[in-house]
Structure 1
Amino acid sequence: MEGQVILLVIVGTIAVMLMAFSVVFFVLLYRRKMLQSQLEMQEIKTKHQEEMLNATLRSQEAERNRLGTELHDSVGAMLSSIKLNVEVAKRKEGLISLDPVLGHLDETISQVRSISHQMMPIILKKYGLKHAIEDLFEKLLSENLKVSIKQWDDPSLTEQDSLMLFRIVQELLNNSIKHSSASEIDFSVSKSSDTIKIEYRDNGIGFPQDVLENSDGMGLLNIKNRSQVIQAKCFFSNDKEGGAKVNLVLPTSIG
Protein backbone atom coordinates (compact mmCIF):
# COMPACT_ATOMS: atom_id res chain seq x y z
CA MET A 1 0.00 0.00 0.00
CA GLU A 2 2.79 2.35 0.94
CA GLY A 3 4.53 1.63 -2.37
CA GLN A 4 1.41 2.56 -4.29
CA VAL A 5 1.19 5.87 -2.44
CA ILE A 6 4.81 6.65 -3.24
CA LEU A 7 4.22 5.73 -6.89
CA LEU A 8 1.16 7.99 -7.02
CA VAL A 9 3.15 10.84 -5.48
CA ILE A 10 5.93 10.37 -8.03
CA VAL A 11 3.49 10.19 -10.94
CA GLY A 12 1.61 13.24 -9.63
CA THR A 13 4.84 15.18 -9.23
CA ILE A 14 5.92 14.30 -12.75
CA ALA A 15 2.48 15.30 -14.06
CA VAL A 16 2.62 18.65 -12.25
CA MET A 17 6.13 19.27 -13.57
CA LEU A 18 5.02 18.40 -17.11
CA MET A 19 2.06 20.75 -16.77
CA ALA A 20 4.29 23.53 -15.43
CA PHE A 21 6.80 22.94 -18.23
CA SER A 22 3.97 23.03 -20.77
CA VAL A 23 2.65 26.31 -19.36
CA VAL A 24 6.12 27.89 -19.40
CA PHE A 25 6.72 26.57 -22.93
CA PHE A 26 3.46 27.96 -24.26
CA VAL A 27 4.01 31.31 -22.49
CA LEU A 28 7.47 31.62 -24.05
CA LEU A 29 6.11 30.54 -27.43
CA TYR A 30 3.30 33.10 -27.12
CA ARG A 31 5.74 35.87 -26.18
CA ARG A 32 8.01 34.94 -29.08
CA LYS A 33 5.11 35.07 -31.51
CA MET A 34 3.98 38.42 -30.06
CA LEU A 35 7.50 39.83 -30.36
CA GLN A 36 7.79 38.54 -33.92
CA SER A 37 4.41 40.06 -34.74
CA GLN A 38 5.47 43.41 -33.25
CA LEU A 39 8.71 43.35 -35.24
CA GLU A 40 6.79 42.57 -38.42
CA MET A 41 4.34 45.40 -37.70
CA GLN A 42 7.24 47.79 -37.01
CA GLU A 43 8.92 46.71 -40.23
CA ILE A 44 5.69 47.28 -42.17
CA LYS A 45 5.28 50.67 -40.47
CA THR A 46 8.88 51.68 -41.22
CA LYS A 47 8.56 50.54 -44.83
CA HIS A 48 5.30 52.46 -45.14
CA GLN A 49 6.92 55.58 -43.69
CA GLU A 50 9.82 55.25 -46.13
CA GLU A 51 7.41 54.82 -49.03
CA MET A 52 5.42 57.86 -47.89
CA LEU A 53 8.59 59.94 -47.55
CA ASN A 54 9.78 58.77 -50.96
CA ALA A 55 6.42 59.60 -52.54
CA THR A 56 6.29 63.02 -50.83
CA LEU A 57 9.77 64.05 -51.97
CA ARG A 58 9.19 62.85 -55.52
CA SER A 59 5.86 64.69 -55.56
CA GLN A 60 7.67 67.85 -54.43
CA GLU A 61 10.18 67.44 -57.23
CA ALA A 62 7.38 66.99 -59.78
CA GLU A 63 5.75 70.20 -58.52
CA ARG A 64 9.08 72.02 -58.61
CA ASN A 65 9.57 70.86 -62.16
CA ARG A 66 6.10 72.07 -63.13
CA LEU A 67 6.61 75.49 -61.52
CA GLY A 68 10.09 75.79 -63.01
CA THR A 69 8.70 75.04 -66.46
CA GLU A 70 5.93 77.62 -65.95
CA LEU A 71 8.46 80.25 -64.87
CA HIS A 72 10.78 79.52 -67.76
CA ASP A 73 8.23 79.07 -70.55
CA SER A 74 5.41 81.39 -69.50
CA VAL A 75 6.68 84.13 -67.18
CA GLY A 76 10.11 84.28 -68.83
CA ALA A 77 8.57 84.48 -72.29
CA MET A 78 6.14 87.22 -71.20
CA LEU A 79 8.96 89.29 -69.69
CA SER A 80 11.05 88.88 -72.84
CA SER A 81 8.07 90.04 -74.92
CA ILE A 82 7.57 93.08 -72.69
CA LYS A 83 11.27 93.91 -72.99
CA LEU A 84 11.08 93.68 -76.79
CA ASN A 85 8.08 96.06 -76.87
CA VAL A 86 9.85 98.54 -74.59
CA GLU A 87 12.96 98.43 -76.82
CA VAL A 88 10.80 99.09 -79.92
CA ALA A 89 9.10 102.01 -78.17
CA LYS A 90 12.46 103.42 -77.13
CA ARG A 91 13.83 103.28 -80.70
CA LYS A 92 10.72 104.83 -82.23
CA GLU A 93 10.23 107.56 -79.66
CA GLY A 94 13.85 108.03 -78.64
CA LEU A 95 12.91 107.76 -74.98
CA ILE A 96 16.17 107.51 -73.03
CA SER A 97 14.07 107.46 -69.85
CA LEU A 98 13.18 103.85 -70.69
CA ASP A 99 16.76 102.67 -70.06
CA PRO A 100 16.19 102.08 -66.32
CA VAL A 101 13.04 100.10 -67.16
CA LEU A 102 15.03 97.92 -69.57
CA GLY A 103 17.68 97.44 -66.89
CA HIS A 104 15.08 96.27 -64.37
CA LEU A 105 13.55 93.96 -66.97
CA ASP A 106 16.96 92.40 -67.71
CA GLU A 107 17.56 91.85 -64.00
CA THR A 108 14.09 90.35 -63.50
CA ILE A 109 14.48 88.04 -66.51
CA SER A 110 17.85 86.90 -65.19
CA GLN A 111 16.39 86.19 -61.72
CA VAL A 112 13.40 84.31 -63.16
CA ARG A 113 15.76 82.21 -65.30
CA SER A 114 17.97 81.49 -62.29
CA ILE A 115 15.01 80.48 -60.10
CA SER A 116 13.52 78.28 -62.82
CA HIS A 117 16.86 76.51 -63.33
CA GLN A 118 17.15 75.87 -59.58
CA MET A 119 13.65 74.43 -59.49
CA MET A 120 14.13 72.49 -62.72
CA PRO A 121 17.85 71.68 -63.20
CA ILE A 122 17.86 71.30 -67.00
CA ILE A 123 21.62 70.74 -67.06
CA LEU A 124 21.14 67.65 -64.86
CA LYS A 125 18.79 66.07 -67.40
CA LYS A 126 20.89 67.05 -70.40
CA TYR A 127 24.46 66.49 -69.21
CA GLY A 128 24.30 64.46 -65.99
CA LEU A 129 25.05 64.85 -62.30
CA LYS A 130 28.70 65.88 -62.48
CA HIS A 131 28.07 68.76 -64.89
CA ALA A 132 25.08 69.88 -62.82
CA ILE A 133 27.15 70.01 -59.61
CA GLU A 134 30.03 71.72 -61.44
CA ASP A 135 27.53 74.32 -62.66
CA LEU A 136 26.38 74.90 -59.07
CA PHE A 137 29.98 75.38 -57.96
CA GLU A 138 30.91 77.70 -60.84
CA LYS A 139 28.05 80.04 -59.94
CA LEU A 140 29.44 80.35 -56.41
CA LEU A 141 33.11 80.87 -57.30
CA SER A 142 34.44 84.26 -56.22
CA GLU A 143 37.48 85.90 -54.65
CA ASN A 144 36.06 84.98 -51.25
CA LEU A 145 34.94 81.43 -51.94
CA LYS A 146 36.75 78.55 -53.61
CA VAL A 147 34.59 75.53 -54.50
CA SER A 148 36.01 72.39 -56.09
CA ILE A 149 35.42 68.70 -56.84
CA LYS A 150 38.45 66.82 -55.47
CA GLN A 151 37.49 63.39 -56.79
CA TRP A 152 34.73 62.05 -59.01
CA ASP A 153 34.04 58.35 -59.44
CA ASP A 154 30.81 58.25 -61.40
CA PRO A 155 28.16 56.85 -58.98
CA SER A 156 25.95 55.84 -61.94
CA LEU A 157 22.72 56.74 -60.17
CA THR A 158 19.27 56.71 -61.71
CA GLU A 159 17.84 60.05 -62.86
CA GLN A 160 15.59 60.30 -59.79
CA ASP A 161 18.39 59.43 -57.35
CA SER A 162 20.75 61.85 -59.13
CA LEU A 163 18.16 64.57 -58.58
CA MET A 164 17.98 63.71 -54.87
CA LEU A 165 21.78 63.91 -54.55
CA PHE A 166 21.78 67.18 -56.49
CA ARG A 167 19.26 68.62 -53.99
CA ILE A 168 21.42 67.41 -51.09
CA VAL A 169 24.43 69.27 -52.54
CA GLN A 170 22.27 72.37 -53.02
CA GLU A 171 21.20 72.23 -49.37
CA LEU A 172 24.80 71.74 -48.19
CA LEU A 173 25.96 74.72 -50.23
CA ASN A 174 23.15 76.87 -48.85
CA ASN A 175 24.13 75.86 -45.33
CA SER A 176 27.80 76.75 -45.92
CA ILE A 177 26.95 80.12 -47.48
CA LYS A 178 24.37 81.13 -44.86
CA HIS A 179 25.95 79.82 -41.67
CA SER A 180 29.57 78.71 -41.95
CA SER A 181 31.52 81.77 -43.17
CA ALA A 182 33.57 79.31 -45.25
CA SER A 183 36.15 80.35 -47.84
CA GLU A 184 36.73 76.83 -49.23
CA ILE A 185 34.36 73.98 -50.05
CA ASP A 186 35.52 70.53 -51.22
CA PHE A 187 33.38 67.75 -52.64
CA SER A 188 34.33 64.20 -53.58
CA VAL A 189 32.69 60.98 -54.76
CA SER A 190 34.59 57.69 -54.41
CA LYS A 191 33.34 54.27 -55.41
CA SER A 192 34.37 50.77 -54.35
CA SER A 193 32.97 47.35 -55.16
CA ASP A 194 30.17 47.64 -52.59
CA THR A 195 29.84 51.28 -51.52
CA ILE A 196 29.67 54.82 -52.85
CA LYS A 197 31.18 57.38 -50.48
CA ILE A 198 30.36 61.05 -50.83
CA GLU A 199 32.17 63.66 -48.77
CA TYR A 200 31.39 67.34 -48.45
CA ARG A 201 33.44 69.66 -46.28
CA ASP A 202 34.00 73.36 -45.75
CA ASN A 203 36.52 75.31 -43.70
CA GLY A 204 33.96 77.45 -41.87
CA ILE A 205 32.92 77.56 -38.23
CA GLY A 206 31.44 74.06 -38.24
CA PHE A 207 28.15 72.76 -36.88
CA PRO A 208 26.99 73.99 -33.46
CA GLN A 209 27.12 71.18 -30.89
CA ASP A 210 23.35 71.13 -30.33
CA VAL A 211 22.79 70.76 -34.08
CA LEU A 212 25.25 67.84 -34.20
CA GLU A 213 23.52 66.13 -31.29
CA ASN A 214 20.00 66.48 -32.67
CA SER A 215 20.45 66.99 -36.45
CA ASP A 216 16.92 68.40 -36.50
CA GLY A 217 17.50 71.76 -38.19
CA MET A 218 15.39 72.22 -41.32
CA GLY A 219 18.40 72.07 -43.65
CA LEU A 220 19.89 68.96 -42.03
CA LEU A 221 16.48 67.31 -41.83
CA ASN A 222 16.02 67.82 -45.57
CA ILE A 223 19.44 66.26 -46.18
CA LYS A 224 18.63 63.28 -43.93
CA ASN A 225 15.27 62.70 -45.62
CA ARG A 226 16.70 62.85 -49.12
CA SER A 227 19.58 60.61 -48.05
CA GLN A 228 17.08 58.06 -46.80
CA VAL A 229 15.34 58.04 -50.20
CA ILE A 230 18.60 57.04 -51.94
CA GLN A 231 19.35 54.49 -49.17
CA ALA A 232 22.33 56.49 -47.93
CA LYS A 233 23.60 56.65 -44.36
CA CYS A 234 24.29 60.26 -43.46
CA PHE A 235 26.93 61.46 -40.96
CA PHE A 236 27.39 65.05 -39.75
CA SER A 237 30.60 66.06 -37.98
CA ASN A 238 33.13 68.83 -37.48
CA ASP A 239 36.60 68.43 -38.96
CA LYS A 240 39.51 68.45 -36.50
CA GLU A 241 41.10 71.29 -38.45
CA GLY A 242 37.85 73.27 -38.39
CA GLY A 243 34.79 73.35 -40.59
CA ALA A 244 31.78 71.15 -41.18
CA LYS A 245 31.92 67.70 -42.76
CA VAL A 246 29.09 65.60 -44.16
CA ASN A 247 29.56 62.01 -45.31
CA LEU A 248 27.07 59.91 -47.25
CA VAL A 249 27.54 56.18 -47.68
CA LEU A 250 25.25 54.25 -50.00
CA PRO A 251 25.34 50.79 -51.54
CA THR A 252 26.79 50.42 -55.02
CA SER A 253 23.74 48.36 -55.95
CA ILE A 254 21.61 51.50 -56.00
CA GLY A 255 23.65 52.88 -58.90
Structure 2
Amino acid sequence: MESKVILLVIIGTIGVMLMAFSVVFFVLLYRRKVLENQLDMQEVKTKHQQEMLNATLKSQESERNRLGTELHDSVGAMLSSIKLNLQVTKKREGVVSLEPILGHLDETISQVRTISHQMMPIILKKYGLKHAVEDLFEKVSSDEITASISEWEESKLDEENTLMLFRIIQELVNNSLKHAQANNITLGITTQEGKMHLCYQDDGIGFPEGVIKNSDGMGLLNIKNRAQAIHASVDFSNPETGGAKVDLVIDASID
Protein backbone atom coordinates (compact mmCIF):
# COMPACT_ATOMS: atom_id res chain seq x y z
CA MET A 1 0.00 0.00 0.00
CA GLU A 2 2.77 2.35 0.98
CA SER A 3 4.65 1.60 -2.27
CA LYS A 4 1.55 2.46 -4.29
CA VAL A 5 1.24 5.80 -2.49
CA ILE A 6 4.90 6.56 -3.21
CA LEU A 7 4.40 5.56 -6.86
CA LEU A 8 1.37 7.82 -7.14
CA VAL A 9 3.30 10.69 -5.56
CA ILE A 10 6.17 10.17 -8.02
CA ILE A 11 3.78 9.97 -10.97
CA GLY A 12 1.96 13.08 -9.73
CA THR A 13 5.23 14.95 -9.26
CA ILE A 14 6.38 13.97 -12.76
CA GLY A 15 3.01 15.07 -14.13
CA VAL A 16 3.23 18.44 -12.41
CA MET A 17 6.81 18.88 -13.64
CA LEU A 18 5.76 18.01 -17.19
CA MET A 19 2.90 20.50 -16.98
CA ALA A 20 5.29 23.15 -15.64
CA PHE A 21 7.78 22.45 -18.42
CA SER A 22 4.94 22.59 -20.96
CA VAL A 23 3.79 25.97 -19.64
CA VAL A 24 7.36 27.32 -19.70
CA PHE A 25 7.87 25.91 -23.20
CA PHE A 26 4.68 27.48 -24.54
CA VAL A 27 5.48 30.81 -22.83
CA LEU A 28 8.94 30.83 -24.42
CA LEU A 29 7.46 29.82 -27.77
CA TYR A 30 4.87 32.60 -27.49
CA ARG A 31 7.51 35.19 -26.59
CA ARG A 32 9.65 34.05 -29.50
CA LYS A 33 6.67 34.38 -31.85
CA VAL A 34 5.91 37.86 -30.51
CA LEU A 35 9.56 38.87 -30.97
CA GLU A 36 9.59 37.51 -34.53
CA ASN A 37 6.41 39.45 -35.29
CA GLN A 38 7.95 42.61 -33.83
CA LEU A 39 11.08 42.11 -35.92
CA ASP A 40 8.95 41.54 -39.03
CA MET A 41 6.98 44.70 -38.30
CA GLN A 42 10.20 46.65 -37.72
CA GLU A 43 11.60 45.36 -41.00
CA VAL A 44 8.42 46.39 -42.82
CA LYS A 45 8.56 49.79 -41.09
CA THR A 46 12.23 50.26 -41.99
CA LYS A 47 11.56 49.23 -45.58
CA HIS A 48 8.62 51.63 -45.73
CA GLN A 49 10.76 54.45 -44.31
CA GLN A 50 13.46 53.71 -46.89
CA GLU A 51 10.88 53.76 -49.68
CA MET A 52 9.45 57.04 -48.37
CA LEU A 53 12.96 58.55 -48.20
CA ASN A 54 13.75 57.45 -51.76
CA ALA A 55 10.41 58.80 -52.99
CA THR A 56 11.06 62.14 -51.24
CA LEU A 57 14.55 62.48 -52.71
CA LYS A 58 13.29 61.58 -56.20
CA SER A 59 10.51 64.13 -55.83
CA GLN A 60 13.06 66.77 -54.79
CA GLU A 61 15.24 66.02 -57.81
CA SER A 62 12.23 66.14 -60.12
CA GLU A 63 11.26 69.53 -58.71
CA ARG A 64 14.86 70.76 -59.02
CA ASN A 65 14.94 69.75 -62.67
CA ARG A 66 11.61 71.46 -63.30
CA LEU A 67 12.71 74.69 -61.63
CA GLY A 68 16.09 74.53 -63.36
CA THR A 69 14.39 74.17 -66.73
CA GLU A 70 12.02 77.06 -65.95
CA LEU A 71 14.91 79.30 -64.88
CA HIS A 72 16.97 78.42 -67.94
CA ASP A 73 14.25 78.42 -70.59
CA SER A 74 11.80 81.02 -69.31
CA VAL A 75 13.45 83.48 -66.91
CA GLY A 76 16.83 83.29 -68.66
CA ALA A 77 15.24 83.85 -72.06
CA MET A 78 13.18 86.81 -70.78
CA LEU A 79 16.25 88.46 -69.24
CA SER A 80 18.23 87.95 -72.45
CA SER A 81 15.36 89.52 -74.44
CA ILE A 82 15.27 92.54 -72.10
CA LYS A 83 19.04 92.93 -72.41
CA LEU A 84 18.83 92.80 -76.22
CA ASN A 85 16.08 95.46 -76.30
CA LEU A 86 18.07 97.73 -73.99
CA GLN A 87 21.17 97.30 -76.15
CA VAL A 88 19.16 98.26 -79.25
CA THR A 89 17.72 101.29 -77.41
CA LYS A 90 21.16 102.36 -76.21
CA LYS A 91 22.62 102.06 -79.72
CA ARG A 92 19.70 103.87 -81.34
CA GLU A 93 19.18 106.61 -78.75
CA GLY A 94 22.71 106.85 -77.36
CA VAL A 95 21.51 106.56 -73.75
CA VAL A 96 24.68 106.30 -71.67
CA SER A 97 22.73 105.79 -68.41
CA LEU A 98 21.69 102.33 -69.63
CA GLU A 99 25.24 101.01 -69.17
CA PRO A 100 24.89 100.22 -65.42
CA ILE A 101 21.52 98.54 -66.05
CA LEU A 102 23.07 96.34 -68.74
CA GLY A 103 25.86 95.44 -66.31
CA HIS A 104 23.33 94.40 -63.66
CA LEU A 105 21.44 92.38 -66.24
CA ASP A 106 24.61 90.54 -67.25
CA GLU A 107 25.26 89.65 -63.63
CA THR A 108 21.64 88.52 -63.11
CA ILE A 109 21.69 86.38 -66.26
CA SER A 110 24.94 84.79 -65.12
CA GLN A 111 23.51 84.00 -61.68
CA VAL A 112 20.31 82.55 -63.15
CA ARG A 113 22.38 80.37 -65.48
CA THR A 114 24.53 79.15 -62.58
CA ILE A 115 21.51 78.33 -60.40
CA SER A 116 19.72 76.54 -63.25
CA HIS A 117 22.79 74.41 -63.97
CA GLN A 118 23.10 73.52 -60.28
CA MET A 119 19.47 72.46 -60.17
CA MET A 120 19.68 70.65 -63.50
CA PRO A 121 23.26 69.35 -63.96
CA ILE A 122 23.37 69.11 -67.76
CA ILE A 123 27.08 68.23 -67.77
CA LEU A 124 26.35 65.23 -65.53
CA LYS A 125 23.73 63.89 -67.93
CA LYS A 126 25.79 64.55 -71.06
CA TYR A 127 29.34 63.73 -69.99
CA GLY A 128 29.18 61.79 -66.74
CA LEU A 129 30.16 62.20 -63.11
CA LYS A 130 33.86 63.00 -63.52
CA HIS A 131 33.27 65.89 -65.93
CA ALA A 132 30.51 67.23 -63.66
CA VAL A 133 32.80 67.13 -60.62
CA GLU A 134 35.65 68.76 -62.58
CA ASP A 135 33.24 71.52 -63.65
CA LEU A 136 32.07 71.97 -60.06
CA PHE A 137 35.65 72.15 -58.76
CA GLU A 138 36.62 74.63 -61.47
CA LYS A 139 33.73 76.90 -60.47
CA VAL A 140 34.52 76.89 -56.74
CA SER A 141 38.31 77.21 -57.08
CA SER A 142 39.74 80.68 -56.52
CA ASP A 143 42.75 82.44 -55.05
CA GLU A 144 41.49 81.45 -51.57
CA ILE A 145 40.59 77.78 -52.17
CA THR A 146 41.66 74.99 -54.54
CA ALA A 147 39.56 71.91 -55.29
CA SER A 148 41.09 68.95 -57.12
CA ILE A 149 40.65 65.26 -57.90
CA SER A 150 43.44 63.09 -56.47
CA GLU A 151 42.45 59.82 -58.20
CA TRP A 152 39.49 58.47 -60.15
CA GLU A 153 38.42 54.86 -60.71
CA GLU A 154 34.69 55.25 -61.12
CA SER A 155 32.39 52.22 -61.34
CA LYS A 156 29.26 52.20 -63.43
CA LEU A 157 26.18 53.46 -61.57
CA ASP A 158 22.74 54.08 -62.97
CA GLU A 159 21.53 57.64 -63.63
CA GLU A 160 19.62 58.06 -60.34
CA ASN A 161 22.48 56.80 -58.15
CA THR A 162 25.01 58.89 -60.09
CA LEU A 163 22.88 61.98 -59.48
CA MET A 164 22.62 61.15 -55.76
CA LEU A 165 26.41 60.76 -55.57
CA PHE A 166 26.91 64.10 -57.33
CA ARG A 167 24.52 65.78 -54.88
CA ILE A 168 26.56 64.33 -52.00
CA ILE A 169 29.74 65.79 -53.48
CA GLN A 170 28.00 69.15 -53.94
CA GLU A 171 26.91 69.11 -50.29
CA LEU A 172 30.44 68.26 -49.15
CA VAL A 173 31.88 71.14 -51.18
CA ASN A 174 29.23 73.54 -49.84
CA ASN A 175 30.11 72.50 -46.30
CA SER A 176 33.81 73.19 -46.93
CA LEU A 177 33.05 76.58 -48.47
CA LYS A 178 30.58 77.75 -45.81
CA HIS A 179 31.92 76.31 -42.57
CA ALA A 180 35.36 74.72 -42.87
CA GLN A 181 37.54 77.78 -43.64
CA ALA A 182 39.50 75.43 -45.89
CA ASN A 183 42.14 76.30 -48.48
CA ASN A 184 42.31 72.91 -50.19
CA ILE A 185 39.75 70.26 -51.13
CA THR A 186 40.64 66.84 -52.53
CA LEU A 187 38.41 64.06 -53.78
CA GLY A 188 39.41 60.52 -54.67
CA ILE A 189 37.29 57.67 -56.01
CA THR A 190 38.60 54.10 -56.22
CA THR A 191 37.04 50.69 -56.78
CA GLN A 192 37.96 47.66 -54.69
CA GLU A 193 36.28 44.25 -54.56
CA GLY A 194 33.11 45.44 -56.26
CA LYS A 195 32.73 48.50 -54.04
CA MET A 196 33.27 52.15 -54.87
CA HIS A 197 35.23 54.10 -52.26
CA LEU A 198 34.92 57.88 -52.16
CA CYS A 199 37.34 59.83 -49.97
CA TYR A 200 36.73 63.57 -49.52
CA GLN A 201 39.06 65.79 -47.49
CA ASP A 202 39.65 69.43 -46.76
CA ASP A 203 42.24 71.23 -44.63
CA GLY A 204 39.82 73.40 -42.68
CA ILE A 205 38.80 73.47 -39.02
CA GLY A 206 37.18 70.03 -39.10
CA PHE A 207 33.77 68.85 -37.95
CA PRO A 208 32.54 69.84 -34.47
CA GLU A 209 32.66 66.73 -32.26
CA GLY A 210 28.95 66.91 -31.48
CA VAL A 211 28.10 67.05 -35.17
CA ILE A 212 30.26 63.99 -35.90
CA LYS A 213 28.69 62.03 -33.05
CA ASN A 214 25.07 62.82 -33.89
CA SER A 215 25.34 63.80 -37.58
CA ASP A 216 22.71 66.41 -36.76
CA GLY A 217 24.02 69.20 -38.97
CA MET A 218 21.70 69.91 -41.88
CA GLY A 219 24.42 69.30 -44.47
CA LEU A 220 25.59 66.06 -42.86
CA LEU A 221 21.99 64.87 -42.48
CA ASN A 222 21.39 65.47 -46.19
CA ILE A 223 24.53 63.49 -46.98
CA LYS A 224 23.46 60.62 -44.71
CA ASN A 225 19.98 60.49 -46.27
CA ARG A 226 21.34 60.47 -49.81
CA ALA A 227 23.95 57.86 -48.88
CA GLN A 228 21.20 55.71 -47.39
CA ALA A 229 19.19 56.06 -50.61
CA ILE A 230 22.05 54.52 -52.62
CA HIS A 231 22.78 51.86 -49.95
CA ALA A 232 26.12 53.44 -49.06
CA SER A 233 27.88 53.65 -45.71
CA VAL A 234 29.32 57.02 -44.73
CA ASP A 235 31.83 57.98 -42.06
CA PHE A 236 32.70 61.51 -40.89
CA SER A 237 36.00 62.11 -39.11
CA ASN A 238 38.67 64.65 -38.18
CA PRO A 239 42.10 63.22 -39.10
CA GLU A 240 45.07 63.89 -36.80
CA THR A 241 46.66 65.82 -39.67
CA GLY A 242 43.78 68.31 -39.49
CA GLY A 243 40.75 69.20 -41.53
CA ALA A 244 37.69 67.07 -42.19
CA LYS A 245 37.38 63.70 -43.89
CA VAL A 246 34.41 61.83 -45.31
CA ASP A 247 34.59 58.20 -46.41
CA LEU A 248 31.75 56.79 -48.48
CA VAL A 249 31.51 53.15 -49.56
CA ILE A 250 28.99 52.15 -52.24
CA ASP A 251 28.14 48.72 -53.55
CA ALA A 252 29.22 49.25 -57.16
CA SER A 253 26.79 46.56 -58.34
CA ILE A 254 23.74 48.78 -57.72
CA ASP A 255 22.25 49.77 -61.03
| TM over 0.5, shorter chain | yes
Counterpart position of 1:254: 254
CA contact (8 A) 2:150 2:186 kept: yes
Alpha-carbon offset, residue 192 of structure 1: 1.3
Question: Unpaired segments of 5 or more residues in structure 1?
Answer: none
The one-letter code sitting in structure 1 at the alignment partner of 2:190 is S
Counterpart position of 1:175: 175
Counterpart position of 2:233: 233
Counterpart position of 1:114: 114
Counterpart position of 1:188: 188
- Residue 96 (str. 1) matches residue 76 (str. 2): no
CA contact (8 A) 2:154 2:196 kept: no
- Residue 15 (str. 1) matches residue 21 (str. 2): no
CA contact (8 A) 2:71 2:113 kept: yes
How many residues are treated as equivalent by the alignment? Answer: 255
Q: Distance in 1 between matches of 2:151 and 2:39?
A: 41
CA contact (8 A) 2:157 2:252 kept: no
Q: Which runs of 4+ in 1 moved over 3 A?
A: none
Question: Unpaired segments of 5 or more residues in structure 2?
Answer: none
Q: Distance in 2 between matches of 1:42 and 1:55?
A: 20
Moved more, 54-63 or 187-196: 187-196
Counterpart position of 1:2: 2
The one-letter code sitting in structure 2 at the alignment partner of 1:246 is V
The one-letter code sitting in structure 2 at the alignment partner of 1:56 is T
Q: Distance in 2 between matches of 1:158 and 1:233?
A: 18
Q: Distance in 2 between matches of 1:120 and 1:194?
A: 29
Alpha-carbon offset, residue 155 of structure 1: 2.2
**How do 1:191-230 and structure 2 match up within 5 A?**
191-230=191-230
Alpha-carbon offset, residue 194 of structure 1: 2.8
Q: Distance in 1 between matches of 2:171 and 2:63?
A: 18
Instruction: Provide the secondary structure at the position in 1 that maps to 2:200.
Output: strand
The one-letter code sitting in structure 1 at the alignment partner of 2:196 is I
Alpha-carbon offset, residue 193 of structure 1: 2.0
TM-score using structure 1 length: 0.98
Counterpart position of 2:151: 151
CA contact (8 A) 2:68 2:117 kept: yes
Alpha-carbon offset, residue 95 of structure 1: 1.2
Moved more, 197-206 or 136-145: 136-145
The one-letter code sitting in structure 2 at the alignment partner of 1:92 is R
The one-letter code sitting in structure 2 at the alignment partner of 1:124 is L
Question: Percent of aligned positions with the same letter in both sequences?
Answer: 68
Counterpart position of 1:36: 36
**How do 1:44-123 and structure 2 match up within 5 A?**
44-123=44-123
CA contact (8 A) 1:155 1:189 kept: no
Instruction: Provide the secondary structure at the position in 2 that maps to 1:188.
Output: strand
CA contact (8 A) 1:189 1:196 kept: yes
Instruction: Provide the secondary structure at the position in 2 that maps to 1:199.
Output: strand
Q: Distance in 2 between matches of 1:64 and 1:86?
A: 31
